[in-house]
Amino acid sequence: MAGHSAGTEIEQLIQLLARLPGLGPRSARRAALQLLSKKETLMRPLADAISEAADHVLTCTTCGNLDTQDPCSICVDTRRDAGVICVVEHVADLWALERAGANSGQYHVLGGTLSALDGVGPDDLNIAGLVNRTMSGDIKEVVLAVNATVDGQATAHYIMDQLEGSGANVSQVAHGVPVGGELDYLDDGTLAAAMKARRPF
Amino acid sequence: MAGHSAGTEIEQLIQLLARLPGLGPRSARRAALQLLSKKETLMRPLADAISEAADHVLTCTTCGNLDTQDPCSICVDTRRDAGVICVVEHVADLWALERAGANSGQYHVLGGTLSALDGVGPDDLNIAGLVNRTMSGDIKEVVLAVNATVDGQATAHYIMDQLEGSGANVSQVAHGVPVGGELDYLDDGTLAAAMKARRPF
């Protein structure tokens, strides 16, 4: 990477940084230089923060969220609606819904979507856990907040089938024109879905 | 950042990652999730690599390069031409020239450029060190490889003045059409410089 101008310590650092999403070889070099120029204010704190998080962050065995406690702080929060489970693909989606304050219920992180192409089957996702929670608990509603992709929708249909007879209502987040979005820039699929799902004004 | 859905360890990690160049809040969250999903293969090695580099990498007191030894491996390399000093703004520029194998001589890292706007004067850069090296050593040539910006050229002129009487020839990297570049896409300044510096074919 940096040729023989830099020690192996720097090359090792650059190679690991380049494996982060959003950083390529060039930006990893810039990041390494940035770190080395701010050893005490950024570099050592970052090393400590990574170690700390690696030691203390774990996956909630109930919902699949990442937290420093298991069950996670959302699962144990009694102010939240324990009768609603919002199903998401990834932890990042859970965080996005939390930032938006869009869900006052619980969550369930699948860990991805069914995908014949990538060889992801039902057993590779945390679907059994969702069925267990829905069957055993007093769940009124399961909201499917999976992505509006082909794989996401296939996963939603599969989950729908699995939850049949659970007594819970299964719903899905609305698909349509994004708030602030301009019709002119939207794809045909979104426009068709938005027209089809039109509601009284 | 991540709301109350994530522990403070994760938020701390995200905030520090977001301070790296090239990573914003969103990509820092993605990077944190990537790290947490690869604890043993990426997260702990990265924490170790950052600590190692913070402990062992230092700035060469001769040329300003970053290395695990001082003087750096370039300064002590007897196969290199000790009579040529290539002057660059930043360590990243040194690395770029090394990757290209473009300089067989020594280096000198200024640490930036003169800038009236940003309040950067000669004493803020490692110019005195360059003058010392040039005056005291057996230096035949000083190659100015600073950026072709207004500040870079102002810095080049200042260094030129300081090195007067040193006996060293001061040269500058050529400015012109980049190799592989198309004329149609180049700015007027580059085209004018390339025409002015035209050479017999």
Predicted ipTM of the assembly? 0.82
Q: Which residues of A touch B22 (CB under 8 A)?
A: 22-23, 27, 30-31
- The residues of chain B that CATH labels 1.10.8.420 are 3-56
- Helix (H, G, I), strand (E, B), or coil: what is residue A88? strand
Q: What is the topology classification, in CATH, of domain A78-172?
A: Dna Topoisomerase Vi A Subunit; Chain: A, domain 2 (3.40.1360)
* A58/B contact by beta carbon, under 8 A: no
SS3 letters for B98-133?
Answer: HHHCCCCEEEEECCCCCECCCCECHHHCCHHHHHHH
- The residues of chain B that CATH labels 3.40.1360.10 are 66-172
Determine whether the interchain pair B27/A21 forms a contact, defined as Cβ–Cβ distance below 8 Å: yes
Q: Which residues of A touch B102 (CB under 8 A)?
A: none
pLDDT classification of B3: cutoffs 50, 70, 90: very low
pLDDT in tens, A29-45: 999 999 999 999 999 99
Query: Which range has the worst mean pLDDT, A109-113, A192-196, B43-47?
Result: A192-196
User: What number does CATH give the domain B66-172?
Assistant: 3.40.1360.10
B71/chain A closest Cα distance in angstroms? 12
- The residues of chain A that CATH labels 3.40.1360.10 are 78-172
Q: What is the C-alpha to C-alpha distance for residues B27 and A23, in angstroms, rounded to an integer?
A: 9
pLDDT classification of B74: cutoffs 50, 70, 90: very high
A85/chain B closest Cα distance in angstroms? 15
Find the residue in A nearest to B14 (Cα).
A49
Residue A151: phi and psi, rounded to 5, are -65, -40
pLDDT in tens, A88-100: 999 999 999 999 9
Distances from the Cα of B88 to the Cα of A19, A70, A128, B37, B132, angstroms = 28, 52, 60, 40, 16
pLDDT in tens, A142-176: 999 999 889 999 999 999 999 998 889 999 998 88
Residue A4: per-residue pLDDT: 45
> What is the average pLDDT score of chain A?
91
Question: Taking residues A121-140, what's their average pLDDT?
Answer: 92
> What is the average pLDDT score of chain B?
91
Q: What is the C-alpha to C-alpha distance for residues B78 and B105, in angstroms, rounded to an integer?
A: 10
Is the distance from CB of B122 to CB of A26 less than 8 angstroms? no
Residue A6: per-residue pLDDT: 59
Q: Which residues of B touch A19 (CB under 8 A)?
A: 34, 42
User: What number does CATH give the domain A3-56?
Assistant: 1.10.8.420
